[in-house]
Amino acid sequence: MQNYTKCSKFGANSKMRKKFRKPNVEYMLAVLLSFAIIIFVLFISGCGNDEKIHSKQWLYFDTIIELNIYGNPSDASLDSIWQIAKERLALWDSLTDPYDSTSALYKLNNEPIGTVKVDKNLGELINAALDWRNRTDAALEPKIGHIVTLWNIGSRAEKIPSQTEIDSALFLIKSSDIVPISDSICIISGDIKLDLGAFAKGFVVDKLYDSLIKFCIGNSAISGFLVDCGRNIRGWRRNGKSFTIGIANPRGDNIIAAFELPSGWGCASAGDYERFFIKNGIRYHHIFDPRTGKPARKAIAATAITRSAFDADAMSTAAIVMGKNIEKILDDSETTIILFYETNGNVVWESIGKKRNIFQ
Amino acid sequence: MASKKLQTGIEKTDGFDFLRYFTVRNYLIKYFRLGDIIIVLLVIAIGFSPMYLHKNGSIKSFSIILDSAEIASIPADTDTTIIVPAPLGAVKIEISGGRARVVESSCPRKICVHSGAIGKAGQAIACVPNKLIIIAVGDERSGKYDAILK
């Protein structure tokens, strides 16, 4: 009988070594396995930083728009990507800015009643916005312009309007209407004032996504891209890997939650922290309930994760107005909405719709 | 022959009983010494270290972008005041103690002045009327997230 434990790693003597040739193979395996684990760990921790990111920023829609290109494209193709993006953004900014007197939306808002011609692109956006109005039972109202200009949040001359002023603005909203005949012809009645703040950015992200994917899919040096247009994000990766998106605390600087955004999907956040003023301890912000004409208070912020950035943009805004009731209008089993509330000074969140891994 | 307790705590019977012999505890005692374990842990720690080095969003410089073109990149550790010739007039930017802020601006609503100071990688101040952006640039883009919903 042999005493196995007396055999050290290197063998006690030649006789022993002969007997334990077989276990020595195990020892080598153990060493190899250790090396394999070490190499594996080194690989995992190293590969996250391999992808080169090229990024560029523009200022449109009163916000910073960032485009990230992943991979190693040539300078010429990068330049043409920046060119495509800039052209698209400038075009849509010039169509949808309600304050710029040269924009197509401003002109439409100041047309006399009757049949009017609209820019085809703007008409498409208006149609999509009116669909959302029907879907949310007017919790999202594209005609909200009268209320927006009445409160004028974001300017330095903020004041709380009287109930009479709110009522007359609400009457103007109710008595005006827009009926699209096609993408380029609409019939308007009453004093209409469209404000597409809840739709425009998401719509532009989708349009930009469509033109970028046509360019990038044929260029194998590009491994993906991500469009970030003021809280509206959509990205694509050739290998189908998802993006990690963090959500900033609506009442601070830190990241309070994060999730995986699948390639090709869109996400958006809305909240009462974007544009607001505080008077007598009450926060008055820029997302209004079209039924009361006052800032909506069902949630302090909302994040929507859907298949397109446009739906995400509209849905996150609608969630501020509707709160938990938004669950009723979710018509697919894929959308997730994260609602944020403030209770006793703490920010808490709950998720509605499809369950997703939401981590810190 | 009577069975005998070995140092490893395994009861040894006649012949080579592989299943009894090859337990995790025996394996570790036989092939690993304390020094081996320390080396393995050390190598794993070195392997994982890059993941934590760039985590805290430390910044390298402030990038000043005027009308989509970078006009200046100022190291974060310099204390200085810059006056940018923006479309509507001068914009005064102050960088001190690793933080940047707009002190004076020629824009009508002064949102950039009221947005305060920035000092973490990825943060930005925008002055829309002047087409001006100030971005805090980190060593690596704050590693953990691809984008942040602010």
Considering the domain architecture, whether residues A31 and A104 belong to the same structural domain is answered as: no
- A212 in any annotated domain: no
- A307 Cβ neighbours under 8 A, 6+ residues apart: A264, A265, A266, A334, A335
Location of structure tokens 């069975």: B3
A70-96 mean pLDDT: 91
Considering the domain architecture, whether residues A255 and A154 belong to the same structural domain is answered as: no
| Of A171 and A252, the one with more pLDDT | A171
* Residue B148 to residue A45, Cβ atoms within 8 A: no
Contact A34, B44 (CB under 8 A): no
- pLDDT the model gives residue A351: 92
**A119-157 pLDDT tens trace:** 999 999 999 999 999 999 999 999 999 999 898 887 767
Considering the domain architecture, whether residues A260 and A151 belong to the same structural domain is answered as: no
DSSP-assigned letters across all residues of B33-54: -HHHHHHHHHHHHHHHHHHHHT
B137 inside 8 A of chain A by CB:
no
| Of A253 and B82, the one with more pLDDT | B82
- pLDDT the model gives residue A51: 67
- Residue A64 pairs with which residues in a beta bridge? A59
> How many CB pairs below 8 Å do chains A and B form together?
114
Considering the domain architecture, whether residues A183 and A273 belong to the same structural domain is answered as: no
Considering the domain architecture, whether residues A250 and A181 belong to the same structural domain is answered as: no
Confidence (pTM): 0.73
Question: Could you count the other beta carbons within 10 Å of the beta carbon of residue B134?
Answer: 26
- Residue A133 sits in a domain whose CATH number is 1.10.3980.10
Domain count, chain A: 3
Read off the pLDDT band of A264 (50, 70, 90).
very high
Q: Which of A271, A104, A307, A305 is nearest to A198 (CA)?
A: A271
pLDDT more than 90, % of chain A: 53
Considering the domain architecture, whether residues A170 and A246 belong to the same structural domain is answered as: no
Structure-block tokens of residue A105:
């939306």
Supply the ipTM of this predicted assembly. 0.76
- A125 in any annotated domain: yes
- A196 in any annotated domain: no
Contact A256, A103 (CB under 8 A): no
Highest mean pLDDT, choosing among A188-197, A312-321, B13-22:
A312-321
**A171-187 pLDDT tens trace:** 999 999 999 888 889 99
Q: Which residues of B touch A247 (CB under 8 A)?
A: 148-149
Contact A178, A225 (CB under 8 A): no
- pLDDT the model gives residue A350: 92
A242-271 mean pLDDT: 91
Q: Which residues of A touch B107 (CB under 8 A)?
A: none
- pLDDT the model gives residue A11: 47
* Residue A68 C-alpha, separation from nearest chain B C-alpha, in angstroms: 9
Q: CB burial class (10 A; 0-12, 13-18, 19+) of residue B112?
A: buried
Tell which of A189, A207, A230 closes a domain.
Answer: A189
- Would you call A5 helix, strand, or coil by DSSP? helix
| DSSP, res A302 | E
- A340 in any annotated domain: yes
Considering the domain architecture, whether residues A262 and A352 belong to the same structural domain is answered as: yes
Q: Which of B129, B149, B55, B11 is nearest to A303 (CA)?
A: B149
* Residue B145 C-alpha, separation from nearest chain A C-alpha, in angstroms: 5
Tell which of A154, A189, A224 closes a domain.
Answer: A189
- Residue A167 pairs with which residues in a beta bridge? none
Of A30, A48, A243, the CB nearest to B143: A48
A6, A19, A27, A57: best to mutate for the B interface, most B CBs within 10 A: A57
- A48 in any annotated domain: no
**B37-56 pLDDT tens trace:** 888 888 888 777 666 654 44
Considering the domain architecture, whether residues A271 and A360 belong to the same structural domain is answered as: yes
* CA–CA dist A261, A273 (Å, integer): 23
Specify the length of chain B in residues.
150
Structure-block tokens of residue A118:
């609209």
Tell which of A189, A206, A222 closes a domain.
Answer: A189
- Range from A216-225, A330-339, B117-126 carrying the lowest mean pLDDT: B117-126
Considering the domain architecture, whether residues A178 and A287 belong to the same structural domain is answered as: no
- A280 in any annotated domain: yes
Question: Could you count the other beta carbons within 10 Å of the beta carbon of residue B26?
Answer: 17
Question: Could you count the other beta carbons within 10 Å of the beta carbon of residue A277?
Answer: 18
Residue A30 above 80 pLDDT? no
Residue A7 above 60 pLDDT? no
Considering the domain architecture, whether residues A12 and A109 belong to the same structural domain is answered as: no
Q: Which residues of B touch A267 (CB under 8 A)?
A: 149
Of A59, A155, A255, the CB nearest to B126: A59
B146 inside 8 A of chain A by CB:
yes
Q: Walk me through the domains of chain B, giving residue ranges and CATH numbers.
A: 4-53 (no CATH), 59-138 (2.60.320.10)
Considering the domain architecture, whether residues A109 and A12 belong to the same structural domain is answered as: no
Nearest CA in chain A to B123: A253
Residue A166 above 80 pLDDT? yes
- A84 in any annotated domain: no
* Residue B144 to residue A244, Cβ atoms within 8 A: yes
Contact A95, A104 (CB under 8 A): yes
- pLDDT the model gives residue A359: 85
* Residue A303 to residue B149, Cβ atoms within 8 A: yes
* CA–CA dist B102, B113 (Å, integer): 5
Read off the pLDDT band of A159 (50, 70, 90).
confident
- Residue A344 sits in a domain whose CATH number is 3.10.520.10
- What residue numbers bound the domain in which A176 lies? 99-189
- pLDDT the model gives residue B2: 47
- pLDDT the model gives residue B128: 84
A68-81 mean pLDDT: 92
- Residues 88-107, chain B: which have Cβ within 8 Å of A? none
Max CA distance (Å), chain A:
107
Max CA distance (Å), chain B:
101
- A234 in any annotated domain: no
Q: Which residues of A touch B128 (CB under 8 A)?
A: 59, 62-63
Q: Which residues of B touch A4 (CB under 8 A)?
A: 6, 12, 21
Residue A326 above 80 pLDDT? yes
Location of structure tokens 């939401």: A358
- Residues 42-81, chain B: which have Cβ within 8 Å of A? 43-44, 47-51, 65, 68
Q: Which of B61, B79, B69 is nearest to B132 (CA)?
A: B69
Considering the domain architecture, whether residues A119 and A27 belong to the same structural domain is answered as: no
Mean pLDDT by groups of 10 residues along chain B of 150 residues? 51 61 73 78 77 61 85 86 88 89 88 84 84 79 76
Question: Could you count the other beta carbons within 10 Å of the beta carbon of residue B60?
Answer: 15
- Residue A57 pairs with which residues in a beta bridge? A66
